[in-house]
Amino acid sequence: MYSNRLRSLPPYLFAEIDQAKEKKISEGVDVIDFGVGDPDLPTPEHIVDRLDEAARNKENQGYPSYRGKEEFREAVSEWYKSNFNVDLDVEEEVISLIGSKEGIAHTPLAFVDPGEKTLVPDPSYPVYEIGTVLADGDPVSMPLKKENGFKPNLDKINRETAEEAKLMFLNYPNNPTAAVATGKYFKKVVDFAKKYDIIVCHDAAYSQITYDFDAPSFLEVDGAKDVGVEFHSLSKTYNMTGWRIGFAVGNKDVLDGIGKVKTNVDSGVFQAIQEAAIEALSGSQDCVKENVKTYKERRDLLVEGIKSLGLDVEKPKATFYIWAEVPEGTDSMSFSKKLLEEGGIVATPGSGFGEYGEGYLRFALTKDLDRIEEAVERMEEIEFE
Ligand SMILES: Cc1ncc(COP(=O)(O)O)c(C=O)c1O
């Protein structure tokens, strides 16, 4: 019944831990779930108010433009200038997305023919690989190793593979490893992409969730716009995961390709949501600062608990994830199950994000301080044999 394409999608590797969690809950255990990358904090009120008003405007109720309202693209361009000092042409270098996931998943359809390769970080957000497979492409993994700061070692990419690759996906600040990249690294990426004629798709969904650190945009680097685009999301920055709005910016021809797919499969973002997004991007950014402050307090508390479990962990400079290394002699799935069994705590096994995620657990900071404190107390009491 199902297409080969659908049948060749990678297996959903979190099913095992999801089931174990459901079982514990059904047994009446008070499970503390650090598995979910969905902010528990509400969308700031001024953004909700703007939607409320905009939804009542008849002019917003028809089909939107798939590229996004001009005012939305202007707001994106100004936001980019103020955050990254990057100039974007509002007509040609900005496109709205129904969440960045939508844009990422559709991108390979525009550029990858059956059998063609894409370069995908491992571990990673699964959509880079899935988008490639849905386009009948061939994802090739680029290992993210601790010794390389969880960045692909471009020198280790086989020359033939590089010559064949159409696209490279990157994501900094990174999910799941919480690693960050510098402009210097991005410059190497630009040189590599030019040498091998590869389109770079940089996913910057967590660019604003940073602690005493400014995450650079890929587009800050000279020549970046010649080779690629950057995906952004309002989901994490403004607690808007359910609203489904994001954007892509950068190389005009790449955006045209993505836009061509989109005109044929969707009809853009509800204009009232675009107006709310304008409010988010152009209004006071104090809500973002508040968010970051909250995640930072949570991070500092949870890291202590994780250390008490004997895991090797560093305080992340960005994202709302903690990437912790399990002790030698165990693996991420067994450790995750033990943590659930002994402490009623869920952390995502790194192996679910790819082969090179093995040996790690990901904790999402999407629970409040009281729950984290409870989790830390439980962690301090657990004694693994
Ligand atoms: C790295 C990364 N990119 C993109 C997304 C998707 O975000 P959006 O809600 O904009 O589709 C996520 C969501 O978890 C993510 O972790």
> What CA–CA distance (Å, rounded) separates 69 from 66?
8
Those residues with Cβ within 8 angstroms of residue 149's Cβ, 6 or more apart along the chain or in another chain = 179
The single-letter DSSP state of residue 243 is: G
Residue 308: CB atoms within 10 A of its CB come to 14
In the chain, what is the straight-line distance between the N-terminal and C-terminal CA atoms, in Å?
48
Number of H helices, E strands in the chain: 14, 12
Ligand 1 pocket mutation pick from 102, 170, 175, 237 by most atoms within 8 angstroms of CB: 175
Ligand 1 atom with the smallest distance to the CA of 234 is 10
Ligand 1 atom nearest 38 alpha carbon: 14
Q: pTM of this prediction?
A: 0.97
Verify whether ligand 1 is closer than 6 Å to residue 298 (CB atom): no
Q: In tens digits, what is the pLDDT along the chain, a chain of 385 residues?
A: 999 999 999 887 788 888 999 999 999 999 999 998 899 999 999 999 999 999 999 999 999 988 999 999 999 999 999 999 999 999 999 999 999 999 999 999 999 999 999 999 999 999 999 999 999 999 999 999 999 999 999 999 999 999 999 999 999 999 999 999 999 999 999 999 999 999 999 999 999 999 999 999 999 999 999 999 999 999 999 999 999 999 999 999 999 999 999 999 998 999 999 999 999 999 999 999 999 999 999 999 999 999 998 899 999 999 999 999 999 899 999 999 999 999 999 999 999 999 999 999 999 999 999 999 999 999 998 876 6
Measured from the CB, is residue 230 less than 6 Å from ligand 1? no
**Nearest to residue 237, comparing CAs of 21, 25, 47?**
47
Three-state secondary-structure class, residue 33 = strand
Give the Cα separation of 384 and 16 in Å (integer).
21
Residue 113's Cα: distance from chain center in Å? 25
Domain positions in the chain? 4-42+286-381, 45-284
3-state secondary structure of 276: helix
Q: Extract the tokens encoding 78.
A: 């100004």
- Ligand 1 atom with the smallest distance to the CA of 245 is 10
Tell how far the Cα of 82 is from the centroid of ligand 1, in angstroms: 22
Ligand 1 close to Cβ of residue 235 (< 6 A): yes
The CATH number corresponding to 45-284 among 3.40.640.10, 3.30.930.20, 3.40.50.880, 1.10.240.10 equals: 3.40.640.10
CB 304 within 8 Å of CB 98: no
124 lines ligand 1 (CB under 6 A): no
DSSP 355-383: GGGTTEEEEE--S-HHHHHHHHHHHHH--
CA separation (Å) from 126 to 91, 115, 140, 259, 303?
31, 19, 13, 22, 25
Cα 142 to middle of ligand 1, angstroms: 19
Give dist(CA 298, CA 358) in Å, integer: 25
According to CATH, the superfamily of the domain at 4-42+286-381 is Aspartate Aminotransferase, domain 1 (3.90.1150.10)
Å from CA of 1 to ligand 1 middle: 30
Per-residue pLDDT at 385? 60
Q: How far is the CA of 280 from the centre of ligand 1 (A)?
A: 17
Pairing of strands 246-250, 94-97: antiparallel
Close Cβ partners of 52 (under 8 Å, ≥ 6 residues apart):
none
Q: How far is the CA of 329 from the centre of ligand 1 (A)?
A: 32
